[in-house]
Amino acid sequence: MIAHHPHTMTISLSGFCKTSRTLPQIAVASNEELHTAPLSGKRLLALWNALPGVEKRKRVGDREALIDQLWSAIEALPGPEPQPDSKPPSKQDVVIAMLHQPEGATVDEVASVTGWQRHSVRGVFSGTLKKKLGLTLASAKEERGRVYRIAEPAS
């Protein structure tokens, strides 16, 4: 397996090490390091043939040229896919984001998004946001009802 990151390539030599239960890995950050890595011709050939979109080889041929071609092909691989956050934002994070918006949010809007009861929303405003987190909530009576916003701290 070849893992390509912007500055380092990690080569897992699975199946090549018969004496160790752990799979050896080689990390190289440049073409020069790949040239000096302890890779046999058989391993280089296996790495080349594992790359997507390359013409498969049966012989190494010119070792130096193969290593140069291998490095060029690896550099052309797309970077790793960005990993999504391991968990979605909490309801508290969603509420805070809603209250940071210029339009703010009403108790009913927060209840609708979170699935909480109205009294639970007011409890979060009072207990969690104001007391625990020390946020300053501002409210104003508007056309759609009482709208709450997180007030910017006075500087």
**CATH architecture for segment(s) 91-150:** Orthogonal Bundle (1.10)
CB neighbourhood size of 71 (10 A): 18
For residues 45 and 69, the answer to whether their CB atoms sit within 8 Å is no
What is the model's pLDDT at position 7? Answer: 47
Query: What's the rounded Cα separation, in Å, for the pair 45 and 145?
Result: 70
Query: What's the rounded Cα separation, in Å, for the pair 5 and 82?
Result: 11
Mean pLDDT confidence for 105-121: 95
Domain residue ranges in the chain: 2-75, 91-150
Encode pLDDT of 51-94 as tens digits: 888 888 889 899 999 999 988 888 887 777 776 767 888 999 99
Higher per-residue pLDDT: 3 or 39: 39
What is the model's pLDDT at position 24? Answer: 54
DSSP string, 5-72: -SS-EEEE-TTT-SS-SSPPEEEESSHHHHHHS---HHHHHHHHHHSTTSPP-S---SHHHHHHHHHH
Mean pLDDT confidence for 25-45: 84
The yes-or-no verdict on residue 50 having pLDDT over 80 is yes
What is the model's pLDDT at position 11? Answer: 60
CB within 8 Å of 115: residues ≥ 6 apart: 91
The model scores a pTM over 0.75: no
Mean pLDDT confidence for 100-129: 95
What is the model's pLDDT at position 34? Answer: 85
